[in-house]
Amino acid sequence: MSRHIFILLLAFLPASAQTYEHRLTGSFGALNPAGGAQSDAFNSAPMLSFDYGLRFHRFSQADLGVDIAFASQSAIRGSSETRRNIYIPRFGYRAVIPLLQDRLEASIGAGGAHSFIKPTIPGSEIWLVYGQVGASYAIDRDKHYRGGLMLRWYRDPIGTPVQQFISVGAEFTYSFGR
């Protein structure tokens, strides 16, 4: 029995040789309302995103980030608009699929987020869930710099959506810690 355990541990030894990797990502794109009583009042808005990712393993990454959208809210009656910023701090986890000798990486993930709007709208702070899919390509030979695309879908987790958004963005990533 101990011989089988030793062989199993020996087989997984190369996987443990993978070092931790830190990733800083900045992206720009658009946050689009996708339904819901509160999000329907907003227009499509330019968005900036900032992320930190920790690669625990070659095939997985924990994420922490924030999306900031610069939106306008249409008045319920009339043609006036009010400038509102939408902040969505988020945390999650993604599975990473390295392809072409780690040159190309596809990812899929999910997590939780908290949406709040400034200037404040009473009752607008809400917890959200999100799903994401993306791909990035290594720009340099050492694979420290990457460019890619990301698609995220946000919505509140229970019942009819009050807030629901889809964000699409181009991202630039710097990896370090290898």
User: Which residues neighbour 160 within 8 Å (Cβ) at sequence distance 6 or greater?
Assistant: 36
Residue 82 CB: number of other CB atoms within 10 A?
12
Residue 28 has pLDDT above 70, yes or no: yes
Segment (H or E) for 2: helix 2-16
Q: What is the predicted pLDDT for the residue at 42?
A: 76
Q: What is the predicted pLDDT for the residue at 59?
A: 93
Distance between CA atoms of residues 137 and 142, nearest Å: 12
The pTM assigned to this predicted structure is 0.80
Residue 129 near residue 163 (C-beta atoms within 8 A): no
Most confident segment among 40-54, 57-71, 159-173: 57-71
Q: Which domains does the chain have, with CATH numbers?
A: 19-176 (2.40.160.20)
Distance between CA atoms of residues 125 and 84, nearest Å: 13
Classify 75 as helix, strand or coil.
coil
Q: What is the predicted pLDDT for the residue at 1?
A: 62
Q: What is the predicted pLDDT for the residue at 171?
A: 96
Mean pLDDT score of the chain: 85
Residue range 108-117: mean pLDDT, rounded = 93
Q: What is the predicted pLDDT for the residue at 91?
A: 97
Tokens 């999000």 found at: 39
Residue 13 has pLDDT above 60, yes or no: no
- Output the CA torsion sign for 162, 89, 113, 136: positive
Residue 175 CB: number of other CB atoms within 10 A?
19
Residue 81 has pLDDT above 90, yes or no: no
